[in-house]
Structure 1
Amino acid sequence: MDSPARHGRYPWSPLPERPLYDWPGGRRLAVYVGLNLEVFDFGDGLGAELAPGGGDPDVLNYSWRDWGNRVGAWRLLETLDALGLPTSVIANGRVLTECPGLVEAFLARGDELVGHGRTNAERQADLTEDDERALVAEATAALTTAAGRAPAGWLGPWISESRVTPDLLAEAGYGYLLDWAHDDQPTWLTTRDGGRILSVPYPQELNDIPAVVSRQVSGQDFADMVVATFDEMLEQSRSAPLVMGIAVHPYVVGHPHRLRPLRAALAHVAAHRDDVWLTTAGAIAEHAAPVTP
């Protein structure tokens, strides 16, 4: 019998057997909001579908997604401002040219900028190694120009990786990635040159695309998931330092009937700011790197 295929990126490590450490201020639960700012090709390529579109050009779903950048993102920005929540802005490089002023509005708050490919109309796994390297370089250059410094973290469009994605990211100078949902703590992934890149937990359950678009839960249900996850992880963090991410897309949760319950859920989280570390994915990576075996 053949051995099963292995990725070789990280070893087996049960959570209860790991060393204990604290987040800043002696806290044990780190919480961040990952806000995705994405653009899509009109009449071509990939794109989330909230309703059957009926072929390309898919005006229904394209315009629904575009609404997120024109309206929904600004409503979320107001919500984050009102609650005093920092954000990891996970942005396609071409958002900068197609939606001028949008990324800049979040950077003015001091938010972190995370690389997210060129557009969400393509997947890294579909590219050759040279083409994927070029994608990383193009997106990195655009985001570096906007932020004045290179992004430290990366999330692949559609959370899609080739077999060499972590290697290419490490070679391009990235310190962490968000693609792997295998743990509630940061973990190291090995790379082909004998180095490593840190994996920071990014949610697939507490993520509005799988929840609302794929599983078709309501806005209230998604907000209830945020509260239940937070309350449970706060209790669990008594025995281990944990990371809770909340992944949102303006074209999904920016709509009024989803935004209102989400705002209440985020207010519940923000009300515990003395008990948890409200932060960014980049700050989590920076703090965890020296203490993660």
Structure 2
Amino acid sequence: MTHPTTPPDLPSHGRYAYSAITRRPVYDWPGGKRLAVYLGVNLEHFAFGTGLGAELAPGGPQPDVLNYAWRDYGNRVGVWRMIELFDALAMPASVLVNSSIYGYCPEVMEAFRARGDEILGHGRTNSERQGILDEASEAALIAETSAVIAAAEGKAPKGWLGPWISQSPVTPDLLAENGYGYLLDWCQDDQPVWFSTRGGGRILSVPYPQELNDIPAIVARKDSASQFADMIIDQFDEMLEQSRAMPLVMGIALHPYIVGQPYRLRQLRRALAHIAARRDDVWLTTAGAVADHVAALPEGIVPGSRGA
């Protein structure tokens, strides 16, 4: 029997081509640093009695009071403890916000605004997925979210993380067409990558973690608070060593209703203090600052860029 000798041509997203991280041009972050570290703080609000939401325990019939109240703890208590921690360690944050937060608990946004943190779009609510919408409805979701944030913050967000990391086949196109410069949904790399968009455009993919993320780690895999903190420390130490050879981005994805619980907060403090103690060796920054730095680099330096 004769077998074909050409590899199969599988369906592709068409956004970027393969690029081995060990065979790319080397560049630095500001100050000659090689490891950029940012905190991705997810501020989420959920519909009561309907829609999606992470679960502490298997939910019963709606209204699922147990899980709704658990998630609401993050906005009422957990986020304030996290802000105190970030202040104590002098660490900036990238705040991924559901636009419904501005109506439900605007005081939280006032606190992050006072800190000067970066604000990103994260949909209207995590009670819905944008990837299942038709194109017109998805475009409206992006535009509505952007308008609410721009009205409150005085400028439109330039970064986006879809609720539930949900994307349709045209999400990068819609984001670029709505003025977004970067997205966080893809976890395929430790360096930023340019994505192609329709009409000859592009949008930057900034690394956002699904391993170093408290929902997959703690809610899905049932890792303990101390295990999650150890993961952060090990990730940081290993990436710091790897970054001697190349620039890397380390994100830490956090949800106040999870790591804002007191016993988990204590372990998070241990992990972030470990990073803060090495602040002279790394770039403690925001996802948006990473995107700005990459956008200013010469063409051909970053995977997916013209000439790369």
Normalising by the residue count of structure 2, what TM-score does the alignment of the two structures yield?
0.94
- Matched position secondary structure for 2:250: strand
Counterpart in the other structure of 1:112: 118
Could you tell me which amino acid in structure 1 is paired with residue 138 of structure 2?
E
Aligned-pair RMSD on alpha carbons? 0.9
Counterpart in the other structure of 2:238: 232
How much identity, in percent, do the aligned residues show? Answer: 66
Match of 1:267 among 251, 262, 273: 273
Counterpart in the other structure of 1:3: 9
Cα distance in 2 for residues equivalent to 1:21 and 1:110: 27
Counterpart in the other structure of 2:223: 217
Q: How does 1:165-204 map to 2 (within 5 A)?
A: 165-204=171-210
Q: How does 1:57-96 map to 2 (within 5 A)?
A: 57-96=63-102
- Matched position secondary structure for 2:296: helix
The answer to whether structure 1 residue 100 and structure 2 residue 106 are counterparts is: yes
Aligned length: 293
**What is the CA distance between 1:156 and its match in structure 2?**
0.1
**What is the CA distance between 1:4 and its match in structure 2?**
1.4
- Matched position secondary structure for 2:180: coil
The answer to whether structure 1 residue 279 and structure 2 residue 285 are counterparts is: yes
Which deviates more from structure 2 when the two are superposed, residues 51-60 or residues 222-231?
51-60
**What is the CA distance between 1:54 and its match in structure 2?**
1.0
- CA deviations over 1:104-141 (Å, ceiling 9, x no partner): 11011000000000000000111010000000011001
Cα distance in 1 for residues equivalent to 2:24 and 2:110: 40
Match of 1:12 among 18, 22, 41: 18
The answer to whether structure 1 residue 205 and structure 2 residue 211 are counterparts is: yes
* Larger Rg over CA atoms: 2
**After TM superposition, which residue ranges in structure 1, 4 or more long, deviate above 4 angstroms?**
none
**What is the CA distance between 1:277 and its match in structure 2?**
0.1
Cα distance in 1 for residues equivalent to 2:201 and 2:129: 25
Cα distance in 1 for residues equivalent to 2:107 and 2:26: 42
Counterpart in the other structure of 2:37: 31
- CA deviations over 1:211-265 (Å, ceiling 9, x no partner): 0000000011000000000000000000110000000000000001100011010
The answer to whether structure 1 residue 137 and structure 2 residue 147 are counterparts is: no
Counterpart in the other structure of 1:247: 253
Cα distance in 2 for residues equivalent to 1:199 and 1:100: 29
Cα distance in 1 for residues equivalent to 2:259 and 2:37: 18
**What is the CA distance between 1:288 and its match in structure 2?**
1.0
Given that 1:21 and 1:240 are in contact with CA atoms closer than 8 Å, whether structure 2 keeps it comes out as: yes
Match of 2:167 among 146, 161, 164: 161
Cα distance in 2 for residues equivalent to 1:122 and 1:104: 25
Unaligned runs of 5+ in 1: none
Cα distance in 2 for residues equivalent to 1:120 and 1:75: 22
- Matched position secondary structure for 1:108: helix
Counterpart in the other structure of 2:56: 50
- Matched position secondary structure for 2:200: coil
Cα distance in 1 for residues equivalent to 2:68 and 2:197: 37
Unaligned runs of 5+ in 2: none
Could you tell me which amino acid in structure 2 is paired with residue 16 of structure 1?
T
Which deviates more from structure 2 when the two are superposed, residues 99-108 or residues 201-210?
99-108
Cα distance in 2 for residues equivalent to 1:44 and 1:30: 39
- Matched position secondary structure for 2:106: coil
Which deviates more from structure 2 when the two are superposed, residues 60-69 or residues 140-149?
140-149
Cα distance in 2 for residues equivalent to 1:226 and 1:266: 8
Given that 1:104 and 1:146 are in contact with CA atoms closer than 8 Å, whether structure 2 keeps it comes out as: no
Given that 1:93 and 1:118 are in contact with CA atoms closer than 8 Å, whether structure 2 keeps it comes out as: yes
